[in-house]
Amino acid sequence: MKSTRGILNPQLSRVIAEIGHTDYLVVTDSGLPIPQEVERVDLSILPNFPRFIDVLKAVLSEVVVEKVILAEEIKTVSPEMHNEILSLFPSDLVVDYLPHTEFKENTRSARAAIRSGEFTPYANIILQAGCDY
Protein backbone atom coordinates (compact mmCIF):
# COMPACT_ATOMS: atom_id res chain seq x y z
CA MET A 1 0.00 0.00 0.00
CA LYS A 2 1.22 3.52 -0.85
CA SER A 3 2.11 5.73 2.11
CA THR A 4 -0.62 8.15 3.15
CA ARG A 5 1.96 10.95 3.27
CA GLY A 6 1.49 11.80 -0.39
CA ILE A 7 -1.01 11.82 -3.22
CA LEU A 8 -3.27 8.77 -3.17
CA ASN A 9 -5.03 9.20 -6.53
CA PRO A 10 -3.31 6.60 -8.73
CA GLN A 11 -3.61 8.53 -12.01
CA LEU A 12 -2.30 11.75 -10.48
CA SER A 13 0.50 9.90 -8.69
CA ARG A 14 1.56 8.29 -11.99
CA VAL A 15 1.43 11.59 -13.91
CA ILE A 16 3.61 13.31 -11.32
CA ALA A 17 6.10 10.42 -11.39
CA GLU A 18 6.36 10.77 -15.17
CA ILE A 19 7.03 14.54 -15.17
CA GLY A 20 10.44 15.54 -16.46
CA HIS A 21 12.46 18.72 -16.26
CA THR A 22 10.72 21.61 -18.12
CA ASP A 23 7.47 19.63 -18.64
CA TYR A 24 4.25 21.59 -18.13
CA LEU A 25 1.64 20.46 -15.64
CA VAL A 26 -1.63 22.43 -15.46
CA VAL A 27 -3.85 22.74 -12.40
CA THR A 28 -7.24 24.12 -13.41
CA ASP A 29 -10.54 25.40 -12.16
CA SER A 30 -13.69 23.55 -13.21
CA GLY A 31 -14.17 25.49 -16.44
CA LEU A 32 -10.84 25.66 -18.27
CA PRO A 33 -11.08 23.81 -21.58
CA ILE A 34 -8.56 20.98 -21.65
CA PRO A 35 -7.24 20.12 -25.11
CA GLN A 36 -8.11 16.58 -26.28
CA GLU A 37 -4.42 15.68 -26.67
CA VAL A 38 -3.60 16.53 -23.03
CA GLU A 39 -4.18 13.89 -20.37
CA ARG A 40 -6.99 14.92 -18.00
CA VAL A 41 -6.89 14.08 -14.31
CA ASP A 42 -10.40 15.09 -13.26
CA LEU A 43 -10.69 15.45 -9.49
CA SER A 44 -13.84 17.61 -9.55
CA ILE A 45 -16.75 16.29 -7.49
CA LEU A 46 -18.98 19.25 -6.61
CA PRO A 47 -18.84 23.02 -7.20
CA ASN A 48 -15.75 24.24 -5.32
CA PHE A 49 -14.80 20.72 -4.25
CA PRO A 50 -12.00 20.07 -4.23
CA ARG A 51 -10.76 23.64 -4.09
CA PHE A 52 -8.10 24.68 -6.59
CA ILE A 53 -5.72 25.81 -3.85
CA ASP A 54 -5.94 22.44 -2.05
CA VAL A 55 -5.20 20.54 -5.26
CA LEU A 56 -2.31 22.90 -6.02
CA LYS A 57 -0.85 22.42 -2.53
CA ALA A 58 -1.01 18.63 -2.91
CA VAL A 59 0.71 18.79 -6.31
CA LEU A 60 3.39 21.15 -4.99
CA SER A 61 4.16 18.72 -2.18
CA GLU A 62 5.51 16.34 -4.83
CA VAL A 63 6.63 18.48 -7.80
CA VAL A 64 9.72 20.67 -8.14
CA VAL A 65 8.72 23.88 -9.92
CA GLU A 66 11.09 26.29 -11.66
CA LYS A 67 8.53 28.61 -13.26
CA VAL A 68 4.78 29.27 -13.22
CA ILE A 69 2.44 30.80 -15.76
CA LEU A 70 -0.80 32.55 -14.82
CA ALA A 71 -3.46 34.37 -16.80
CA GLU A 72 -2.99 38.13 -16.66
CA GLU A 73 -6.69 38.53 -15.80
CA ILE A 74 -6.34 36.81 -12.41
CA LYS A 75 -4.69 39.96 -11.01
CA THR A 76 -7.83 42.08 -11.44
CA VAL A 77 -10.69 39.54 -11.57
CA SER A 78 -9.60 37.25 -8.71
CA PRO A 79 -6.93 39.15 -6.73
CA GLU A 80 -7.42 37.13 -3.53
CA MET A 81 -6.80 33.87 -5.41
CA HIS A 82 -3.83 35.48 -7.15
CA ASN A 83 -2.27 36.41 -3.80
CA GLU A 84 -2.98 32.98 -2.32
CA ILE A 85 -1.29 31.28 -5.28
CA LEU A 86 1.79 33.51 -5.07
CA SER A 87 2.08 32.84 -1.33
CA LEU A 88 2.83 29.18 -2.10
CA PHE A 89 6.03 29.97 -4.02
CA PRO A 90 9.36 31.54 -3.14
CA SER A 91 9.46 35.26 -3.97
CA ASP A 92 12.29 34.74 -6.48
CA LEU A 93 10.41 32.15 -8.58
CA VAL A 94 9.80 33.22 -12.16
CA VAL A 95 6.11 34.06 -12.69
CA ASP A 96 4.98 34.76 -16.25
CA TYR A 97 1.61 36.30 -17.06
CA LEU A 98 -0.19 35.78 -20.36
CA PRO A 99 -3.57 36.92 -21.64
CA HIS A 100 -6.07 34.13 -20.94
CA THR A 101 -6.36 33.23 -24.64
CA GLU A 102 -2.58 32.69 -24.83
CA PHE A 103 -2.63 30.84 -21.50
CA LYS A 104 -5.16 28.38 -22.93
CA GLU A 105 -3.02 27.94 -26.05
CA ASN A 106 0.00 27.10 -23.84
CA THR A 107 -1.95 24.29 -22.15
CA ARG A 108 -1.66 22.34 -25.43
CA SER A 109 2.00 21.70 -24.51
CA ALA A 110 1.17 20.25 -21.08
CA ARG A 111 1.95 16.72 -20.01
CA ALA A 112 -1.38 16.68 -18.13
CA ALA A 113 -4.11 18.91 -16.72
CA ILE A 114 -5.50 18.38 -13.23
CA ARG A 115 -9.08 19.64 -12.93
CA SER A 116 -10.39 20.84 -9.57
CA GLY A 117 -13.96 21.78 -8.71
CA GLU A 118 -13.03 25.46 -8.30
CA PHE A 119 -15.53 28.11 -9.42
CA THR A 120 -13.21 31.14 -8.96
CA PRO A 121 -12.47 32.79 -12.34
CA TYR A 122 -8.95 32.32 -13.71
CA ALA A 123 -7.90 29.89 -10.95
CA ASN A 124 -5.53 28.12 -13.33
CA ILE A 125 -1.79 27.67 -13.33
CA ILE A 126 0.84 26.11 -15.54
CA LEU A 127 3.71 24.66 -13.54
CA GLN A 128 7.00 24.18 -15.34
CA ALA A 129 8.82 21.30 -13.69
CA GLY A 130 12.23 21.94 -12.28
CA CYS A 131 15.01 19.56 -11.32
CA ASP A 132 15.56 18.31 -7.78
CA TYR A 133 19.36 18.22 -8.03
Residues catalogued as catalytic: 21
Was 42 annotated as part of a binding site?
no
The pLDDT of residue 1 is above 90: no
Was 97 annotated as part of a binding site?
no
CATH superfamily of this structure's domain 21-129: RbsD-like domain (3.40.1650.10)
Was 9 annotated as part of a binding site?
no
The pLDDT of residue 2 is above 90: no
Pairwise CA distance, residues 72 & 44, whole Å: 24
pLDDT tens digits along 7-62: 999 999 999 999 999 999 999 999 999 999 999 999 999 999 999 999 999 999 99
pLDDT tens digits along 76-133: 999 999 999 999 999 999 999 999 999 999 999 999 999 999 999 999 999 999 999 9
Q: Where are the domains of the chain?
A: 21-129
